[in-house]
């Protein structure tokens, strides 16, 4: 769990033991604008924390401006900390493929560029296998080929504070992302 989640639990009088913390798992997805993706996953029971940021590129600790310049190679992504006792990685993958159009290369809606690519960043062999399996299942629902990358996860760089919980901070109720059937 991230530090502020731990502080919240402590301030709320909830003891978070090291054992409880170790039960949490991480998923990292890129599906276009990270604000909309974050807003969808924040609504999922079992998602403990979300962080928007950048991953999959060559620049160390990039800024939003640098990522938008398209020179860093990073994707706008979301890191999800979740409780596998409440939501499985497969369920998160199902939501991921429903939350964006995985058949468009380097774009989502009006957002165009490699930073808006569709990608699953895996951290274990089990995550890779699950991503490949769910991608094959999702392909049956799309006429065009899915272009989502399934790649080994690397360093995840949190975006600047003003990007975190953006819709909530701005009072935005309607997301640019929605769940397809």
Write down the catalytic residue from 27, 33, 80, 159: 33
CA distances from 85 to 20, 23, 47, 168 (A): 11, 8, 11, 27
SS3 call for 58: coil
Say whether 176 is catalytic: no
What are phi and psi for residue 152, nearest 5 degrees?
-60, 135
Alpha helices in the chain, H assignment, sequence order: 3-11, 18-22, 34-41, 64-68, 89-98, 125-139, 166-170
Instruction: List the catalytic residues.
Output: 33
């Amino acid at each position: 769990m991230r530090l502020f989640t731990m502080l919240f639990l402590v301030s709320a009088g909830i003891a978070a033991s090291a054992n409880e913390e170790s039960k949490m798992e991480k998923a990292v997805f890129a599906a276009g604008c990270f604000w909309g993706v974050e807003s969808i996953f924040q609504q999922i029971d079992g998602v403990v924390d979300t962080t928007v940021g950048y991953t999959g590129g060559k620049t160390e600790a990039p800024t939003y401006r640098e990522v938008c310049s398209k020179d860093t190679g990073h994707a706008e992504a979301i890191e999800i900390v979740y409780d596998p006792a409440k939501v499985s990685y497969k369920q998160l993958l199902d939501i991921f493929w429903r939350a964006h159009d995985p058949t468009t290369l380097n774009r989502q809606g009006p957002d165009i560029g490699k930073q808006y690519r569709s990608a699953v960043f895996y951290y274990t062999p089990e995550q890779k296998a699950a991503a490949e399996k769910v991608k094959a299942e999702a392909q049956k629902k799309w006429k065009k080929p899915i272009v989502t990358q399934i790649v080994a996860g690397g360093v995840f760089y949190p975006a600047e504070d003003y990007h975190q919980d953006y819709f909530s901070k701005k009072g935005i109720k309607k997301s640019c992302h929605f769940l397809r059937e």
